[in-house]
Amino acid sequence: MRKASKQPPKRLSHYDAAGRASMVDVSGKQANLREAEARAFVAMSREVIRALPRNPKGDPLEVARIAGILAAKRTSELIPMCHPIPLSKVDVDAKIEKDGVSIHTLVRTTAETGVEMEALVAASVAALTVYDMCKALDKGIEIREVVLLRKSGGKSGDYQRAGGKGRGR
C-alpha cells in the first residue's frame, strides 16, 4: 500500500496538451471496485457540544449525515472536472468528541474512476452542515482536518494516509 508522498506528482492530470483544463478520459480504464474514506473535524466549545441535543433545527449530526450523503451523490455538479459516477455505497458517520464533532465518510463504486472527491465532498458538506446547525450559538466554530484517509482500487493503486485510521470495510 502506498503511503503519503512529499514529492510533487509527475504531472497534473486535468490539463490537455495545450495546458487547458480538461476532464480526464477514463474510457480506457477498467471498471472495478473502488473505495475512499475521508474525515473532517468540527471544533467547537463544550457549551455548543452540550447544546447539540437541544438544537431547535433538529439533530445536527443526523442532518449532517444526510447532507454528506447527498453531497457525495452530487460531487460532479460541484467540482468541474469530476465524472458523474454511480455510487454503490455512501456512509457518513458523525460523532461527538471531547472538543467537537468528528465526521468520517466511506464511499464505494464499481466504476472506471475513483471516489476520493466524493468522500472528501461528503466530509466537507457534513462539516459545513454541523456549522450551519450550530452557528447561532458560536460563529467561532472551526472546520479542520478535511483529509483523505485511504483509497483503494484503480491504476494508481491503494493509498493509506500516514497515521490515518480508515475503517477498511
Read off the pLDDT of residues 82-132 as tens digits, 9 standing for 90 and up: 899 999 999 999 999 999 999 999 999 999 888 999 999 999 999 999 999
How much of the chain, in percent, has pLDDT values that exceed 70?
80
* pLDDT at residue 98, rounded to an integer: 94
Select which of 93, 99, 132, 138 is catalytic: 132
Residue 107's Cβ-side half-sphere holds a number of Cα atoms within 13 Å equal to 30
Q: How confident is the model at residue 25 (pLDDT cuts 50, 70, 90)?
A: low
Q: What dihedral do alpha carbons 13, 17, 19, 22 form, nearest 10°?
A: -50
Its pTM stands at 0.85
d(CA 58, CA 64): 10
Angle, CA of 46, 49 and 55, to the nearest 5°: 140
Phi, psi values for residue 114, rounded to 5°: -80, 175
Q: How confident is the model at residue 169 (pLDDT cuts 50, 70, 90)?
A: very low
Q: What is the mean pLDDT of the chain?
A: 87
* pLDDT at residue 7, rounded to an integer: 52
Answer for the pair 114, 37: CB distance below 8 angstroms, yes or no.
no
CA 123 to chain centre: 4
132 is a catalytic site residue: yes
The structural domains of the chain, with segments of one domain joined by +, span 31-153
Architecture of the domain delimited by 31-153: 2-Layer Sandwich (3.30)
Q: How confident is the model at residue 1 (pLDDT cuts 50, 70, 90)?
A: low
